[in-house]
């Protein structure tokens, strides 16, 4: 990770933007753990990422590294609120681990993926494609639509659901 990426990440962590998930309504604990797996790299992350009202910089960096563009091996700082949304999925469906199929994508990778949006929020570190083992993807998409004000993409013939921190919208792919 280069200095610019790190500084961008630090700015994101310090930003006072409204949380995209109503932490109180979602019953998010004051100490939050994340447990994720990236099947492309076979890497796992299990870490405390939020405590005492602060996101852990180390956890945010580790999260961003795990969600890097594995095809190009490039990292971009992912928005830490994405971890909160994953936590909502953990708590809602009581799954021990969330599988991450896609996080950050370089413009090159994005342009070579069939069906990827030209200005995908994956390229800005604001989107994730997830799979919850043993959970119906439609149920995951419905839960996300009711929990977050961002975008939710449901792909009935795939194992994943897309969510992002963009404007409120939903689609079936």
pLDDT value for 115: 86
- Identify the three-state secondary structure at position 150: coil
pLDDT value for 8: 41
Rg (CA), the chain: 15
pLDDT value for 25: 53
Residue 81 scores a pLDDT above 80: yes
- The average confidence (pLDDT) of the chain is 88
pLDDT band at 66 (very low <50, low <70, confident <90, very high): very high
- Identify the three-state secondary structure at position 72: coil
Which has more pLDDT, 26 or 112? Answer: 112
Residue 13 scores a pLDDT above 60: no
Domains of the chain from N-terminus onward: 3-172 (3.30.1380.10)
Residue carrying structure tokens 């994720």: 36
pLDDT band at 7 (very low <50, low <70, confident <90, very high): very low
Residue 23 scores a pLDDT above 80: no
Q: Tens digit of pLDDT for each residue in 85-109? A: 999 999 999 999 999 999 999 999 9
pLDDT band at 29 (very low <50, low <70, confident <90, very high): confident
Residue 19 scores a pLDDT above 80: no
Which has more pLDDT, 40 or 20? Answer: 40
Average pLDDT value for residue range 138-156: 94
Cβ of 168: how many Cβ atoms within 10 Å? Answer: 11
Strands (E), 86-144: 98-102, 127-131
- Given a contact cutoff of 8 angstroms between Cβ atoms, the answer to whether 164 and 171 are in contact is no
- For 41-78, b where at least 16 C-beta lie within 10 A, e where not — what string? eebebebebbeeeebbeebbbbbbbbbbbbeeebbbbb
């Amino acid at each position: 990770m280069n200095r610019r990426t790190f500084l961008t990440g630090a700015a994101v962590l310090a930003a006072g933007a409204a949380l995209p998930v109503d932490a109180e309504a979602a019953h998010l604990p004051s100490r939050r753990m994340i447990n994720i797996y990236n099947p492309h790299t076979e890497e796992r992350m299990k870490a405390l990422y939020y405590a005492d009202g602060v996101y852990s910089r180390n956890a945010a960096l580790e999260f961003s590294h795990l969600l890097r563009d594995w095809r190009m091996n490039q990292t971009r700082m992912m928005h830490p609120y994405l971890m909160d949304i994953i936590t909502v999925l953990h708590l809602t469906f009581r799954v021990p681990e969330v599988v991450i199929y896609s996080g950050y994508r370089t413009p090159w990778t994005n342009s070579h993926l069939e069906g990827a949006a030209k200005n995908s929020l994956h390229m800005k570190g604001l989107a994730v494609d997830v799979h919850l083992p043993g959970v119906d993807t439609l149920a995951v998409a419905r839960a996300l639509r009711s929990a977050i004000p961002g975008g939710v993409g449901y792909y009935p013939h795939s194992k994943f659901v897309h969510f992002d921190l963009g404007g409120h919208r939903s689609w079936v792919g």
